[in-house]
Structure 1
Amino acid sequence: MPLINIAGSERFAYRPKPPEKTRELASGVRLHAVSDADVAAVDPLTYEVVRHRLAAIAEEMGDALKRMSGSVVVTDCNDFGATILDECGDSVIVGLYNTQLAASVDMAAKWTLENRAARPGIREGDMFFCNDPWVGGGLHQNDATVMAPLFHDGELFAWTAAVCHQVDLGGVSPGSWSVEGRDVFWESTPVPPVKIVENGEIRADIEDMYLRRSRVPRLIALDLRAKIGANNIAQERLTQLIAKYGAKTIKAVMKRMMNDAESRLKAKLRELPDGEWSGVAHQDSFRSGDRNIYKIALKMSKRGERLTFDFTGTDKEVEGFANCTLAGLRGGIMPIVLTMLCGDIPWAPGGIYRCFDIVSEPGTINNCNFPAGIGKASVASAWATQNVVSECVGNMLAVHPEHRKSLMCVCCGTWDLALLAGLDQRGNPFVTMVCDSMAGGLGARVDQDGVDTGGLNCIPMGRVADVEINEFSFPMLYLWRREEMDSGGPGRFRGGAGGSSCFIPYDSPIGGVHLVVSATGKALPQATGLSGGYPAATQHDVLVRGADARSMLARGHIPASLDEVGGTAQVLQQHLETNLDAGDVYFTHWQGGGGYGDPLLRNPILVARDIAAHKVSPRAAAEIYGVVLLADGTVDTSATGAARERLRRQRAEPAPASSGELA
């Protein structure tokens, strides 16, 4: 059945311009605003002190979330966002956590101003819950946001918002990853902004409705309170700041932070040459059994001080759970702009968004209509959008002698999801993502290799949970977690290595666990290189049935390869939902980063060091880098020169005529 746009769903579309030019909404909610003269009147010292204090408050929000949450995804992996916004819903500051999430909170705040100010009203002591990606505040339904308006002297002064990934909010499959899904109705129900805290008290009716959908309601309830607590702390600190410096000064600093980010980014853009850059990001499979390839096309242009991201030519939305909404598209742009273009600029998205335009056709895989499936949006179409934006921005920076140092090739081209559910070792129900692929390889730079298992550029402070934390929290036992050879993209500068994990279910009272796998990037690489650099290796997941791992451990031997564990190995397609039984082994191998520059230009000594460190295999050294080593591991200079010359000649030879279709 083809996807359709249900009548009336346009009401939930994001409108970028709420009634922000007036001091009072039609509902009577008064906005606290300042004039341009007030902004200009703030002295430099006060500006810097207050600006850093606002940044500290955002960080304190993140710290509060981590301290109050019970979810490993939050406490150990930093998959959350904390944001301070002005009275109109423009983001003033985001923390160094998940910048994908923080990039769309402004959408939800502006929608709330437009649609909730009259009924039920926006008042002091209220907070609003939202997990509707068509409205904003997150990229898929598991990204649940709590937004809190801050009032001063009866006027709406600002907003604070906390958002984090919830491990399960319902839907057909545990963890809300419906690999068989065709549309949003297979997934967790998206909820547009609803008042969940009223006059400082949690509304029990709304909380009951929210928790009823989850397989782990107590954990979700704890995370809800963590987000409410983070907002309370932020509002307390902001109130103290207002009392010390005055409301006019604080608001003027907030406005100036966005103005400063805008002016500094525009100045940097003026230094770059005008031009157009294009790229295509591919995805393989939008649901279980799907063997198609889908593309996100981007033509990025720069004229003067303005960027345009034009996604014309992107594939139409499809049945499956890997589309994303406009929030996901924006979440694919902002992390790259922040990390590559704004490393020395305050991260004030409200000002940065003023520097670029987005051209996108609704009804495409990264700007889909309701009720397209979006359960995997954050690590599917949104992530692929990020990949192609990274490629185009990197190519733009590559031509400037100074700014080129800020470019980075695509990092860990996609997320290798393994989700476990069942009963834990204490007999309690659990659902969790295995977030080991948070340790993806970072892309190469113009003058250095990418960081091995260095993380994700969209989550600067992302972390991988300790093996011991995962084993303590969930019924699993690791055989290994390590970096993998030849996983980083070859280049003059090598992409950072990816890694792998291998584990068994362990100590669950029912023996095994439920397993949901959703890991694309297997049919084709997704972490592309730049300037002749090669992409990182594809993902690789294996399920071994009837393995001998437990008896080997009982004998005191820890297996170090899949060949050792015996059993029947099944190389997995992109999506699978099954059971992981007590005698089974699961192996997941995630991607590294893309390489920069021609591999034949890499210093042979660096290749030799990579071989010694097991980052590169001798075969890859010979066939890709053209490096020949002597018996003692040093470079054979003469043979290496000849090998590289031979490889260059082979590149110039015409491709052989096709003998038929590929099998």
Structure 2
Amino acid sequence: MPIVPISGSEKFALQPAPLRADQRSIGSLPLHIVDDETVDGLDPLTYEVVRHRLAAITEEMGDAIKRMSGSVVVTDCNDFGAAIMDEAGDTVQVGLYNMQLAASLDMAAKWTLENRSANPGIKPGDMFLCNDPWVGGGLHQNDVTVLAPLFHDGELFGWTGAVAHQVDLGGVSPGSWSVDGMDVFWESLPTPPVKIVENGAVRADVEDVYLRRSRVPKLVALDLRAKIGANNVAHDRLTALINKYGPDTVKAVMKRMMNDAESRLRAKLLDLPDGTWGAVAHQDGGRAGDRNVYKIVLNMTKTGDRLIFDFTGTDPQVEGIINCTLAGLRGGIMPVMLTMLCPDIPWAPGGIYRTIEIISEPGTINNCTFPAGIGKGSVASAWSTQNAVSETIAGMLSTHPEHSEHLMSVCCGSWDLTVLAGVDQRGGGFVTMLCDAMAGGLGAKVDGDGVDTGGVNCIPMGRVADVEINEFSFPILYLWRREEEDSGGPGKYRGGVGGSSCFIPHDSPVGAVHMVVSAPGKAVPQAPGLAGGYPAATQYDVLVRGSHVLEQLKAGEMPSSLEDLGGEAHTVPPHLETDLGVRDVYYTHWQGGGGLGDPLLREPENVAADVLKGKVSQRAAIGVYGVAVDETGTVDFDATTRQRQTLRLERAGLSHHEAKTGAPA
């Protein structure tokens, strides 16, 4: 049965029209604005001081969230975002955390302005909670935003926003990732902006409605207060800044930051040649049992000082959990814009968005309509959108000798989701998303290899929780967590390698642990290379039933490979929900980054060094790089020359005889 939009849901899927530059109110809500003369007349020193203070405030917001949260996903893995916006909801500054999330806060602020100003009203001391991806503020329902309007002298001066991934907000499956889901009604309830704080006090009725859906309400309640606290910190700092420099000066700096980001990006685009670059990214399987592969098509055109992202040809939305909304599509664009195009430009998305146009048909997998399933949208179609954007922007930058220094091949191509739930070692209920895959491999650069297990490019400050933290917090025992050879894409410059984790349930009073797996990139590599570079390895997960690990540990032996585990090994499909028994082992192997340049052009000494370090196997050294190297790292240069010539002939479909004589052997 095809998914069709429900009548009346359209207002949740449309981005509100922007306010006029001179608009002084929305209904009875007065806005604080400044004219262009005030912006242009800023003293340069004052501008730099206040600009850096605004950036520091977003960092303080992040520190506040981490200090108050109790979730490992937030405190140890930095899966959250923070932003400062102006009175119209345009984003002035984002932090170095999850930029996918922060990039969509403007949508939620604009929607709140348009739909909540009259009823229930926007007043000093209010905050709004939202986890509706059709509104914005997050890419799936587990991304919960708290938006706080900032007033000065009775006028709406701006907004702050804090957003973080919540480990469980209901739905059919623990962690709210319902791999059997057909549509949004299998998932956590999307909630458009509701007033969670009124006149400085948390509304108990709204909080109860929000927490009632979760399997871990106390943890979610703590994260709610962390986000409220982060907004309070930001408002204290912003108020002090306004009192010191004056409201017009601070607002002029905010406007100037966006104007500077826009003008400097336009100048950079004018420096690059016009053209169109294309990419196709994929998702394998929309839900459990679905063996189809779905595509996201992008043609990015650069004309003058503008970029057009045209997603025409993208597959229609599907029955399953992998669709994302317009917020997810935008969240796939902005992180790459910031990290590749704007590393030397103020990170003010409100100005950067002015330089781009998005062409996308509603009802597609990365711009879906309600009630499509979006429970995995953040790390499914939004992530694949990011891969396609990364590939096209890198292609554009490669045409310029200076700007090419900032490009990377596609980084870790997919998120290897593992959700664990059950009874912890202290007898309490738990749900968590294991964030080991945050240590993905970064893509290769034009002048060097990608960073091994360096992270994911949409969360610059993303981290992996210590093994000891995970074992202390949850009833699991690691057998290993390590980098994996051959996981980075081969090339003249190699993509950074990914890694793997292997663990068993441990010390839960009930023994078994419930597990939900959702990891694409198993049918099609999702971190392609550039300029002849090869893609990173595909995702690979294995569930071993009835292992011999307990006996090995009792005997003082530590298994170090899948072959050591005994039992019955099952390759895990992209989506699976099951239980881990006390004798079961789960192995999860996430992806590296794409390579850059022909692998046959890689220096043999670099291949040998990779073999010695366990980054590349001897089999790949000879078969992919054409380098004959022994286990001591010694290169046979004559054999290497012959092997590389053989590989080149094989690529051309020729034998040595044909190459010499021109006649078939």
**Fold conserved between structures, TM > 0.5:** yes
Give the gaps of 5 or more residues in structure 1: 656-663
Map 1:173-188 → 2, pairs under 5 A = 173-188=173-188
Out of 634-643 and 485-494, give the one that drifted further. Answer: 634-643
CA distance in 1, matches of 2:18, 2:260: 22
* 1:514 aligned partner: 514
* Counterpart secondary structure, 2:29: coil
Residue 25 of structure 1: how far off its partner (Å): 3.4
Identical amino acids, percent of aligned pairs: 72
* Counterpart secondary structure, 2:30: coil
CA distance in 1, matches of 2:514, 2:394: 40
* 1:204 aligned partner: 204
Give the gaps of 5 or more residues in structure 2: 656-665
* 2:347 aligned partner: 347
Residue 430 of structure 1: how far off its partner (Å): 0.5
Letter in 1 for 2:262: E
* 1:495 aligned partner: 495
* 2:365 aligned partner: 365
Residue 631 of structure 1: how far off its partner (Å): 6.9
* 2:390 aligned partner: 390
* 1:661 aligned partner: none
* Structure 1 contact 14–136 (Cα < 8 Å) conserved: no
* Counterpart secondary structure, 1:578: strand
* Structure 1 contact 18–113 (Cα < 8 Å) conserved: no
Letter in 1 for 2:329: L
Residue 553 of structure 1: how far off its partner (Å): 1.3
* Structure 1 contact 427–509 (Cα < 8 Å) conserved: yes
Residue 212 of structure 1: how far off its partner (Å): 0.2
* 2:454 aligned partner: 454
* Structure 2 contact 13–369 (Cα < 8 Å) conserved: no
* Structure 2 contact 363–369 (Cα < 8 Å) conserved: yes
Out of 547-556 and 303-312, give the one that drifted further. Answer: 547-556
* 1:658 aligned partner: none
Out of 624-633 and 642-651, give the one that drifted further. Answer: 624-633
> Alpha-carbon deviations, 1:130-168, whole Å to 9, x = none?
000000000000000000000000000010000000000
* Counterpart secondary structure, 1:530: coil
Map 1:464-479 → 2, pairs under 5 A = 464-479=464-479
Map 1:486-565 → 2, pairs under 5 A = 486-565=486-565
CA distance in 1, matches of 2:609, 2:530: 23
* Structure 2 contact 410–529 (Cα < 8 Å) conserved: yes
> Alpha-carbon deviations, 1:283-302, whole Å to 9, x = none?
10010000001000000000
1:374 maps onto 2:374 in alignment: yes
* 1:417 aligned partner: 417
* Counterpart secondary structure, 2:257: helix
> Alpha-carbon deviations, 1:350-378, whole Å to 9, x = none?
00000110000000000000000000001
CA distance in 2, matches of 1:631, 1:13: 58
* 1:299 aligned partner: 299
* Counterpart secondary structure, 2:65: helix
Letter in 2 for 1:587: Y
Residue 16 of structure 1: how far off its partner (Å): 4.3
Letter in 1 for 2:140: H
* 2:105 aligned partner: 105
* Structure 1 contact 19–25 (Cα < 8 Å) conserved: no
Out of 560-569 and 446-455, give the one that drifted further. Answer: 560-569
CA distance in 1, matches of 2:14, 2:153: 29
* Structure 1 contact 171–189 (Cα < 8 Å) conserved: yes
* Structure 2 contact 24–33 (Cα < 8 Å) conserved: no
1:60 maps onto 2:60 in alignment: yes
Residue 633 of structure 1: how far off its partner (Å): 2.6
1:566 maps onto 2:540 in alignment: no
Relative distance call for 1:630 and 1:104 in structure 2 (3 A) is closer
CA distance in 1, matches of 2:97, 2:177: 23
RMSD (Å) for aligned C-alpha atoms: 1.0
* Counterpart secondary structure, 1:536: coil
Number of residue-to-residue matches in the alignment: 655
* 1:169 aligned partner: 169
Residue 105 of structure 1: how far off its partner (Å): 0.3
* Structure 2 contact 415–437 (Cα < 8 Å) conserved: yes
Residue 552 of structure 1: how far off its partner (Å): 1.3
* 1:639 aligned partner: 639
* Structure 2 contact 612–632 (Cα < 8 Å) conserved: no
* Structure 2 contact 170–188 (Cα < 8 Å) conserved: yes
Residue 97 of structure 1: how far off its partner (Å): 0.3
Letter in 2 for 1:529: G
Normalising by structure 1, we get a TM-score of 0.98
> Alpha-carbon deviations, 1:89-122, whole Å to 9, x = none?
0000000000000110000000000000000000
> Alpha-carbon deviations, 1:327-362, whole Å to 9, x = none?
000000000000000000110000000011000000
* 1:400 aligned partner: 400
* Counterpart secondary structure, 1:480: strand
Map 1:639-658 → 2, pairs under 5 A = 639-653=639-653
* Structure 2 contact 489–535 (Cα < 8 Å) conserved: yes
Residue 18 of structure 1: how far off its partner (Å): 3.6
CA distance in 2, matches of 1:438, 1:630: 33
CA distance in 1, matches of 2:554, 2:154: 68
* Structure 1 contact 501–589 (Cα < 8 Å) conserved: yes
* Counterpart secondary structure, 2:477: strand
Relative distance call for 1:631 and 1:15 in structure 2 (3 A) is closer
* Counterpart secondary structure, 2:479: strand
Out of 635-644 and 334-343, give the one that drifted further. Answer: 635-644
Residue 630 of structure 1: how far off its partner (Å): 5.1
Map 1:211-230 → 2, pairs under 5 A = 211-230=211-230
Residue 26 of structure 1: how far off its partner (Å): 4.2
* Counterpart secondary structure, 1:351: helix
CA distance in 2, matches of 1:98, 1:482: 24
CA distance in 1, matches of 2:97, 2:89: 20
* Structure 1 contact 18–114 (Cα < 8 Å) conserved: no
* 2:9 aligned partner: 9
* 2:263 aligned partner: 263
* Counterpart secondary structure, 2:358: strand
* Structure 2 contact 125–199 (Cα < 8 Å) conserved: yes
> Alpha-carbon deviations, 1:244-277, whole Å to 9, x = none?
0000100000000000000110110000000011
Relative distance call for 1:49 and 1:440 in structure 2 (3 A) is same
* 1:76 aligned partner: 76
Out of 637-646 and 596-605, give the one that drifted further. Answer: 637-646
Residue 22 of structure 1: how far off its partner (Å): 4.6
CA distance in 1, matches of 2:342, 2:239: 29
> Alpha-carbon deviations, 1:430-469, whole Å to 9, x = none?
0001100000000000110000000000000000000000
CA distance in 1, matches of 2:16, 2:483: 43
